[in-house]
Amino acid sequence: MNLSASAAESLRTALGDLLDGLPPKQASQAVDRLIASYRGATPTGAPILRDRADVAAYAAYRMPATFEAVRSALEAFADAAPGWTPDSHVDVGGGTGAATWAVSATWEGTRPVTVLDWAEPALALGREIAAAHPPLGDVRWQRARINASLALESADLVTVSYVLNELAAPDRAALVDAAASAAQAVVIVEPGTPDGYARVIEARDRLIAAGFRVAAPCPHSAACPIVPGSDWCHFSARVSRSSLHRQVKGGSLPYEDEKFSYVAAVRFPVSPAPSRVVRRPQIRKGQVLLDLCEAEERLSRTTVTKRHGELYKAARDADWGDAWPPLS
Ligand SMILES: C[S@@+](CC[C@H](N)C(=O)[O-])C[C@H]1O[C@@H](n2cnc3c(N)ncnc32)[C@H](O)[C@@H]1O
């Protein structure tokens, strides 16, 4: 089993064990409460994850999806930085540790990791499930509040996954600036909604102003070519559904697609994709239509037909979010 599949499998097992200890009704009630809190959207100044039931519900219901989204972003980042491996990692607003699992699914070896969060029950549960997966290595689960005076210890990699959404604008800016001062590489992931994309672009602009360049998803570090309000850049990661998902959401599909927006930015030389596929490819008879964001700082649609030979075969295999042409 490869690195990524083995981390995903261990996470599924650890979360399954967690649910075994929770009465189904209590778990689905906690999920309903969480969904309602997240819909509220405005930061409340207090943790949403208040106790073990909240956190177990978050972990079982959302962590597989945030893990897959971050893993997918890190994979695109790793493709742009072959040979680079983080020797230390800080995960801010790390909660139950999804990004920590995603890092261990992307790069071989272990590294010192610090997970920072203000919700003690999330850290406690993160620590508990991490114990089931030795490749996570040496993780410090530390209570910390993100605010205007946040300072981070230096680390090769800082991740911020599904957190900006929970912060007021001044705290979002303080967090991105603190990450830029501390890290060689910063990866930010948000829900794949117009608002999530807007927060990613705001963070991307701040990182570039601080001297970073974009490794992924963008093929360049110039302004995003999307006209504000007309569209939003986002991607999709496939997630196996747990029994809790089926219980809460109904339906029988064995998977769902998590939509996310992200930016991976670095202080060292990288080779971003020449272009990136920014929508699901449309496969027609004898041709594939690819919507691309290109190094020339523009969006385009390209049609690859049978006449293109090998490239046509590659286009039929191309997925939303892939580099184009495929990296050899
Ligand atoms: C949606 S969860 C994401 C958790 C994890 N990063 C993931 O991707 O699954 C948001 C996390 O941010 C934390 N958080 C929100 N506001 C915070 C703040 N002001 N200080 C510290 N942590 C905060 C929450 O406690 C929660 O664990």
Higher per-residue confidence, 250 vs 54: 54
What spacing in Å lies between the alpha carbon of 117 and ligand 1's midpoint?
Answer: 6
- Residue 76, SS3? helix
Cis peptide before 325 (omega within 30 of 0): yes
What domains are defined for the chain? 3-266 (3.40.50.150), 275-324 (no CATH)
Report residue 247 as tokens: 């219980």
Task: For 65-118, write each residue's pLDDT tens digit.
Answer: 999 999 999 999 999 999 999 999 999 999 999 999 999 999 999 999 999 999
Distance CA 85, CA 64 (A): 23
Residue of the nearest CA to atom 10 in ligand 1?
163
| Structure token pair of residue 237 | 């990661």
Numbers of helices and strands, H then E, in the chain: 9, 13
With cut-offs at 50, 70 and 90, classify the pLDDT of residue 135: confident
Predicted pLDDT at 42: 59
How many Å from the N-terminal Cα to the C-terminal Cα in the chain? 22
Identify which of 278, 291, 111 has the alpha carbon closest to the alpha carbon of residue 185.
111
Q: Give the residue, out of 51, 96, 117, 142, with the most ligand 1 atoms within 8 A of its beta carbon, to mutate for a pocket test.
A: 117
| Token pair of 298 as six digits | 């523009």
**With bands split at pLDDT 50, 70 and 90, how would you rate the model's confidence at 41?**
low
Better pLDDT: 43 or 161: 161
Q: What is the pLDDT of residues 269-306, one digit of tens each?
A: 999 999 999 999 999 999 999 999 999 999 999 999 99
Ligand 1 center from residue 40 Cα (angstroms): 15
The answer to whether residues 79 and 120 touch, using CB atoms and an 8 Å cutoff, is no
Label residue 255 left, alpha or beta by phi (over 0 means left) and psi (-120 to 50 means alpha).
Answer: beta
Residue 40 has pLDDT above 80, yes or no: no
Burial 165-201 (b: 16+ CB within 10 A, else e): bbbeeebbbbbbbbbbebbbbbbbbbbbeeebbbbbb
Rg (CA), the chain: 19
Q: Which of 37-51, 76-90, 114-128, 257-271 has the lowest mean pLDDT?
A: 37-51
- The Cβ of residue 107 has, within 10 Å, a number of other Cβ atoms equal to 17
Residues framing ligand 1 (Cβ under 6 A): 47, 49, 63, 66, 93-95, 98-99, 117-119, 122, 145-146, 161-163, 166-167
Tokens of 328: 């050899």
